Structure 1
């Protein structure tokens, strides 16, 4: 933050604001236009201005403007005006948080790593992110997951083609498979994820089963367990969610 040079004060803007709020300095003697001009000159002469710095200045400058306006025209202010300056402060703080998060996301993208591990909190049975703790083996390729899924599809026996007979296949809805998986899991403490896929009678049902499992996980009605990388995945009912 730049130093402000006035007739009765010299130092950072944040210090000026604190002094005025403590009523150690008369706000009516402060030239706010001069402060704004000094900041504009500072921006013009600086190559890179961080957005959070600009947000800080806007917050402090708006407070100074509010305090001075209230001192000069007290009869124009009420309790609602007090809330407006607080709302502005919250908005600027939120803006700063977004800027900080955008920088973090930019660093993550720069690392070109888009996979992160998660652990299950045993106390509240909720997942939490660990950050950069996912270290796949060097021999694992990007298409391995896709190839594994295709192998499962190939295990389904191909239906005999009947050229002379036209059959109408009943559509399987995700809602039906969700209900099926719920009943299946409620009958056992754990169930192998591969078994659910094998329960399907066609490739379409495999896909629908897969989507149903994802939907139940999204709704936090079941949890996944895997002892080690590429081992069998087991599904378990989240009892706290009352499947």
Structure 2
């Protein structure tokens, strides 16, 4: 980092400028404390060694940054810059760095030339333009650039204060090892009712009228259903009743056969499944599924 030592003349200009803009007290607050005692004004015999102040121009982001620092440091009004004081202090800073690093001081010298030009123009008599309008203040363009730079600097500072990835927080990562199992849709009572209505419709079409007295046993039909499903893995719901319908059994027999199927399902000996909504309904033995 390039550095230079400010001369005694520059120190005097900073400590005792022609126009002292530093108040002795600010709302009765001391400027400093010396051995625990409040200090409300700078002592007249204050001694500052010549090498007490070092300038590091690399700490500034450019000529405008250094110029704005000098103005804000002494609480000057940026709209009414005392060009003589600011130019003198600015040149003392640049002179020190020019002796050590001419390449770094190049862009600062350009701003120094601009300050000298503005100071010279302010010394000339003010003349009105040909149109009768007042001539613009020579400092106007510099003030505009300083205000714009200060706005950008404050905006950059606010952006830098925002949380940043890698500086203020780290991105968290999580991996989910999920095992998805396909669940078959449940058979709704409405689906079973519709299937049963279709069986009853077919039973009526193939009904044969026999006047007989027949003893119907739900247990017997449960045994018949278990025997019939023992040799197959799945059987369509309608196929379970088609043999009875084909033989011309009475509706009462088919009803008992249906009740036997429901009883087996209630006792968890029979499963009623469906691959998807409105698909055919299948029946199978529960213990065959457990064995598989």
TM-score tier, shorter chain, comes to: 0.3 to 0.5
Higher-RCO chain (CA-CA 8 Å, sequence separation at least 6): 2
Structure having the higher Rg? 2
Structure in which a larger fraction of residues adopt helix: 1
Q: Compute the TM-score of the two structures, normalised by the length of structure 2.
A: 0.30
